[in-house]
Structure 1
Amino acid sequence: MKRPLRLGLLAALVVFALDQLSKYWILYVFRLPERGSVAIMPGLNFTMVWNHAVTFGMLGGVGASGVIVFSVIALAIVGGLILWMTRTTSPLTGLAAGAIAGGAVGNVLDRVRYGAVVDFIHAHAFGWSWYVFNVADSAIVCSVILLLLLELRSSRRREA
């Protein structure tokens, strides 16, 4: 098995596990649904949100069919990411694609299990408030940024 694929699968497993463990803890140990929102430190709360939409609440008006539609789309994307991991020679690309896949599968499992994604991390400062998100969302966003930076670096090399 190629190194980028191994790294990608490992990243997917780690992100999936951390995501699901954090959600289990927030729901059943910390019991955030009963508490609503809890200040953790200045600028950071745990705030319970059941996200029935996709990233940042987009496409929230799909209704009950959203669970199926969003899950099928996410799993198709995961399939594409796995294919990408098998074809890339870049370990970092494999790692990033795997982290995105692990996060996507974590959120799909939430949709199937709860009918919505468990979001709970709420960053805010100086009257500004970011969307409430989870570990999977963080891994997806950070990995997409990494892929964009890798592509930018690669395109600069091709131009030179």
Structure 2
Amino acid sequence: MTAAPPAGSGTAESTGGTPRRKAVGVLLGVAVAALVADLVTKQLALSSLTGRGPVSLLGGAVYLTLTRNSGAAWSIGSDHTWVFPLITVAVIGWIAWMALRLRSLPWAVSLGLVLGGALGNLTDRVFRAPGHFVGHVVDMVSLFDPYGQVWPVFNLADSSLVCGVVLAVFLELTGRQRDGSRATAERSGDALPADQRERA
């Protein structure tokens, strides 16, 4: 018989997890939903905002303004557009590697949001003008200013990426593992030095 690990050993505590096939299915479903939503909103922006000035919403808290961005936020790296598809391919590879041991639905949602957002902007880089792999990303949402002076103009793919990353950070901080287990902290008494435990 195999001895059970001592309590408070600081290892991962199994929670049963979700079958890997289901978790990967959720990841792909979320990614496809995020990608389709991004493509639809970009097409709507192109058809309704082209040739128009910024459209104010919510009393000026949000503006719809069509822009094409060759770089990242605040047009960072606009002279090296070809780099961004390579970064996206690396992100997709990382997510595929993570999926090999994925058995957590929250992690599936997080990775699906990141994947969908990455694919949304990659589609622009590959297929939009001015050419393959140097295409400009379609952005249309600006906060508190019509021209992105307060916050960079963004799109739904950017929002998906940010939400996925924030969720991943939260899951890491709360000890939720991608394989469906949960990290357990050492018991407070065991974490104390031996002499302090004896006095306690």
| Alignment TM-score > 0.5, same fold | yes
Consecutive unaligned residues of structure 2, counting only runs of 5 or more, are 1-19, 129-134, 177-181, 187-200
Instruction: Describe the SS at the equivalent of 1:118.
Output: strand
Instruction: Describe the SS at the equivalent of 1:154.
Output: coil
How far apart are residue 56 of structure 1 and its match?
Answer: 4.5
Give 1:12's match in structure 2, choosing from 19, 27, 31: 31
Whether the 8 Å contact between 1:9 and 1:98 is mirrored in structure 2 is yes
User: Are 2:77 and 1:59 equivalent residues in the alignment?
Assistant: yes
Aligned residues: 152
Correspondence list, 1:3-152, <5 A: 3-28=22-47, 30=48, 32-42=49-59, 43-62=61-80, 66=81, 68-114=82-128, 115-124=135-144, 129-152=150-173
One-letter code of the match for 1:37?
P
CA RMSD of aligned residues (A): 2.0
The runs of 4+ residues in structure 1 deviating greater than 4 Å are none
When normalised by structure 2's length, the TM-score is 0.70
Consecutive unaligned residues of structure 1, counting only runs of 5 or more, are none
| Identical positions, percent | 30
CA distance change for structure 1 residues 14 and 71 in 2, over 3 Å: closer, same or farther? same
For 2:151 and 2:164, the matched residues in 1 are separated by 19
User: Are 2:184 and 1:158 equivalent residues in the alignment?
Assistant: yes
Q: Which structure: greater helix fraction?
A: 1
**Greater C-alpha Rg:** 2
When normalised by structure 1's length, the TM-score is 0.86
